[in-house]
Amino acid sequence: MGRFLVNFFCKETMEKEARITEGYWHRFSSFLRNCMFNVLSVGPVPNHIAFIMDGNRRYAKKRNLPVGNGHKAGFSSLLWILGYCYELGVKYVTIYAFSIDNFKRRPSEVQTLMDLMLEKIEEMLKEESIVNKYGIRLCFIGNLKLLSDHVREAAERAMKVTAKNDRAVLLICVAYTSTDEIVHAVEESCEDKLDQSRAVGKINGWGNHSDNDQTSPKDHKHDPVIKVVDLENRMYMAVAPDPDILVRSSGETRLSNFLLWQSSYSQLYCPAALWPDLGLWHLVWAVLSYQRSYPYLQKKRKQQ
Amino acid sequence: MVATDSIRKSSSRMAQTPSFALSILWLLIHLVISIFFIVLGIVDTVEDYLISSGFLKRYDVINMGKLRYLAIVVDSEDAMQINKVLKLLQWLTDIGVKHVCLYDSEGVLKKSKEIILEKLSYAKLYEEGDEKSGLDSKTMILEFTSQFDGKEALARAANLLFKRHLKLSLGENQEEKIFTEAQMTEALKAVGSGGPEPDLLLVYGPARCHLGFPAWRLRYTEIVHMGSLDSMKYGPLLKAIYKFTLVRQNYGK
């Protein structure tokens, strides 16, 4: 009995000491990180960083784990990276969570991803989650009609609940591709112009033309013209400025139909690390590279 | 709460003027990074010498079958150095690249189109359908693009689709879908900006950035930064093309 009590109290003390040591270490590393961010902030800090979270499946394969575990590890990595970004002062973070192309994967994997997304959305809306701690507004970007009802409703609810948060924004691209976004923007712009014309009453004039009408160009001089700015206003990503940095993990150097319109003057960064292995130092390097290219990219943006 | 404190710290950090000590530290870090890139440049020069002299045997044989279409993005100011551009195209011909799209945002290369085609007797201008036709081993197809073929072309294509949409909305056949990716591709061809999608895009400029290359053609293109046109070397070019032939894409699957 005496030995049992001694062991019990020793174990309690050891666990308490481990928690205190962990607490000190956590505070010390936070202090170091804050110092580093103070130094980085001497130069320009990116306002918007976008991430292609590539490499979850390879991460799981390397460790002989099911694919779902790779995606879960990817989500943990995401929370760390988000925390670092918002601490540094990045206001907008965009993540490529699920492409329209990803629907071609095995149905079981697609279902796992959808279930994970649903679970994580619910988690993020809890009181103690990162969303409330950092005052993050959630925006789900993409053709949400392609999602199942459960996931779409959860996403819409998350957007509604966090609509008033204004410190930072997390844009989650789901059922998204750039080409789909561009076609959608074209369709919406066409509808806008049609509405404008109807309002002015010109559509009645056009309705009187015959099918084989050979009207000369001068008859169409008042036709509404869709401009680049009209398309930009109708992009899903119009809620945020263009990204300053676009990061793709796992060493691949392509954009895979992500933010093709918005990344004209974005610094591209392709670290070899798989997404679950991406950490603070990769982010620091991305920001330092951005700061080196900043004068040139700003000049190019202004010339546009 | 820790997180709210850190957001508050980041806002106050941005609002304050950085201290002298922090500024010095920041400059020091960037100085170290610049020295690192200088050393990297020296390593590249040595590697270029080894590749050009044939010491590195693995670059001798490259499977060019995978690289059907190469794009080169050049900074518009650098693009005025036509002799450099011509040298680059000559190297690409030696490597065996058949189809090149040259891009610079201001259209400097477009304006120099005639000079370039005149100097390269084996090169011809891209025409629709060229990608399907067989070419003899000496001909290189060249395409010249600028931001006119990027966002502006998408707006022109949008106007074409708008006109079709208007006609259909007035007519009887309301079933036909106008707003699809296939229709958009056709509309881009109709407005003169419908070239094929490059397999590999090489950026010659100060920053790793595609500078507005036509978005519709960039979906699965591998993008590699080669440094500025001033410091272009044959070795890194060959290495980039060789590395590309080793890449395997899943296309989202």
User: Is the distance from CB of A243 to CB of A267 less than 8 angstroms?
Assistant: no
State the nearest Cα–Cα gap between B25 and chain A, in angstroms: 7
> Is the per-residue pLDDT at B79 higher than 80?
yes
Encode pLDDT of B108-138 as tens digits. 999 999 999 888 888 888 876 665 555 566 7
**Which residue does chain B place closest to A106, by CA atoms?**
B253
Give the residue with greater pLDDT, B4 vs A172: A172
CA distance linking residue B241 with residue A280, whole number of Å: 31
Contact B30 A288 (CB under 8 A): yes
State the nearest Cα–Cα gap between B160 and chain A, in angstroms: 10
CA distance linking residue A183 with residue A72, whole number of Å: 32
**Does residue A208 form part of some domain?**
no
> Is the per-residue pLDDT at B232 higher than 60?
yes
What lies within 8 Å, CB to CB, of A38 at 6+ separation is B13, B18, B22
**Does residue A231 form part of some domain?**
no
> Is the per-residue pLDDT at B7 higher than 70?
no
Q: What is the pLDDT of residue A42?
A: 94
Encode pLDDT of A240-294 as tens digits. 999 999 999 999 999 999 999 999 999 999 999 999 999 999 999 999 999 999 9
**Does residue A76 form part of some domain?**
yes
**Does residue A81 form part of some domain?**
yes
Contact A86 B6 (CB under 8 A): yes
Q: What is the pLDDT of residue B134?
A: 54
**Does residue A170 form part of some domain?**
yes
Where would I find the H helices in A41-145? 56-62, 67-88, 107-124, 130-134
Give the residue with greater pLDDT, A128 vs A134: A134
Other CB atoms within a 10 A radius of the CB of residue A205 amount to: 11
**Which residue does chain A place closest to B222, by CA atoms?**
A254
**Does residue A207 form part of some domain?**
no
Quick one: what percent of chain A has pLDDT higher than 90?
Answer: 60
**Which residue does chain B place closest to A185, by CA atoms?**
B158
Catalytic residues of A: 54
User: Is the distance from CB of A250 to CB of A274 less than 8 angstroms?
Assistant: yes
Q: What is the pLDDT of residue B127?
A: 76
Encode pLDDT of A201-218 as tens digits. 755 554 444 444 444 444
User: Is the distance from CB of A60 to CB of A75 less than 8 angstroms?
Assistant: no
Half-sphere exposure of A87 (CA within 13 A, CB side): 24
**Does residue A287 form part of some domain?**
yes
Beta bridge partners of A168: A136
Q: What is the pLDDT of residue B121?
A: 81
**Does residue A195 form part of some domain?**
no
CA distance linking residue A106 with residue A58, whole number of Å: 16
Contact B155 A45 (CB under 8 A): no
- What's the CATH code of the domain at A73? 3.40.1180.10
Residues B191-200 have a mean pLDDT of 91
Q: Tokens 């699957």 label which residue?
A: B253
A226 to chain B: which residues are within 8 Å by CB? 155, 158-159, 162
User: Is the distance from CB of B233 to CB of B43 less than 8 angstroms?
Assistant: no
Encode pLDDT of A55-73 as tens digits. 998 999 999 888 888 888 9
Residues A12-24 have a mean pLDDT of 74
Kind of pairing between the strands at A168-176 and A136-141: parallel
User: Is the distance from CB of A93 to CB of A171 less than 8 angstroms?
Assistant: yes
- In chain A, the number of structural domains is 1
A vs B: CB pairs below 8 A: 188
User: Is the distance from CB of B229 to CB of B83 less than 8 angstroms?
Assistant: no
Give the residue with greater pLDDT, A239 vs B13: A239
Contact A260 B215 (CB under 8 A): yes
Q: What is the pLDDT of residue A215?
A: 44
A146 contacts chain B (CB < 8 A): no
Encode pLDDT of A143-158 as tens digits. 999 998 989 999 999 9
At residue A267, what is the residue type? Q
B23 to chain A: which residues are within 8 Å by CB? 42
> Is the per-residue pLDDT at A222 higher than 60?
no
Residue whose C-alpha is closest to residue B144's, from B111, B103, B203, B204:
B103
Q: Is the dihedral of CA B216, A100, A238, B167 positive or negative?
A: positive
Contact A187 B179 (CB under 8 A): yes
Q: Which domain holds residue A160?
A: 36-177+240-303
